[in-house]
Amino acid sequence: MLLRCHFSFIILLLCLINAHHVHSKTLKRDVKALNEIKASLGWRVVYAWVGDDPCGDGDLPAWSGVTCSTQGDYRVVTELEVYAVSIVGPFPTAVTNLLDLTRLDLHNNKLTGPIPPQIGRLKRLKILNLRWNKLQDVIPPEIGELKKLTHLYLSFNSFKGEIPRELANLPELQYLHLHQNRFIGRIPAELGSLQKLRHLDVGDNHLVGTIRELIRIEGCFPALRNLYLNNNYLTGGIPAQLANLTNLEIL
């Protein structure tokens, strides 16, 4: 009898969980944002994005490249991965309304123009991959507001100006890829304060200065393993202080 009651309780619990899942609605904010993105991205994405609800509505699955999770009574978009589909046009600003995003991957497309300053709204973002596009202009300082960011990939674009010092405000950052852009000026020594940074690639830019300036802060780059500075306009030799980067494996 006890076993039968226990079994019945489990069945009831599963039914309640399933009912909650079925009746969970996608947050209107995210539905609106994804449909705006859908309208701006063109046919290459639209053909795979069927229905009005990006998280799926029971009869239709979630849109390709869209990952959702349930928070309370609603579903929210947590990941957006739309890459290598030749998207042409400016960075879709509506993306910055997806406030629960943890991963944004739009790499290997043909996005143009700047990263909008509204990018700083994505406070939960951990991975931002925009490499292999045609993005331009300076990196907005608001990118320094993404305190949970661990991976930042901006290589193979046409970003210009100086590397923003605000990148040093990202305490969780582990991978920073800025390879092959049009950055000028000095590499901010403040990046050395990033305690978890393992990989720094600023090769193939127009950067000046010396390695000594980069590592002048005592105790800098404690976790750094890979440092790529090739094909810039750096001067001077390799300083003895480089030996203080005890985890460095590749220079």
Is residue 108 left, alpha or beta, with left meaning phi > 0 and alpha meaning psi from -120 to 50? left
Q: Could you tell me if residue 47 is inside a domain?
A: no
User: E-strand spans in the chain?
Assistant: 25-26, 66-71, 74-81, 88-90, 103-105, 110-113, 127-129, 134-137, 151-153, 158-162, 175-177, 182-186, 199-201, 206-209, 226-228, 233-234
Q: Could you tell me if residue 39 is inside a domain?
A: no
Q: Could you tell me if residue 29 is inside a domain?
A: no
SS3 43: helix
Q: What are phi and psi of 97, to 5 degrees?
A: -90, -5
Q: Could you tell me if residue 231 is inside a domain?
A: yes
Q: Could you tell me if residue 15 is inside a domain?
A: no
SS3 165: helix
Q: Could you tell me if residue 100 is inside a domain?
A: no
> For residues 70 and 24, is the Cβ–Cβ distance under 8 A?
yes
CATH number for the domain harbouring residue 221: 3.80.10.10
Count of structural domains, the chain = 1
Tokens of 106: 């739009």
Q: Buried b / exposed e across 127-156, counting CB within 10 Å, b at 16+?
A: bbbbbbbebbeebbebbbbbeebbbbbbbb
Q: Could you tell me if residue 102 is inside a domain?
A: no
CA distance 121 to 124: 9
Whole-prediction pTM: 0.89
For every one of its 251 residues, what pLDDT tens digit does the chain have, with 9 covering 90 and above? 444 544 444 444 444 444 444 447 999 999 999 999 988 877 566 667 888 899 998 788 999 999 999 999 999 999 999 999 888 999 999 999 999 999 999 999 999 999 999 999 999 999 999 999 999 999 999 999 999 999 999 999 999 999 999 999 999 999 999 999 999 999 999 999 999 999 999 999 999 999 999 999 889 999 999 999 999 999 998 998 899 999 999 98
Strand pairing report for 151-153 and 175-177 = parallel
Query: Which range marks the domain in which residue 177 is found?
Result: 154-250
In which element (H, E) is residue 214 found? Answer: helix 211-214
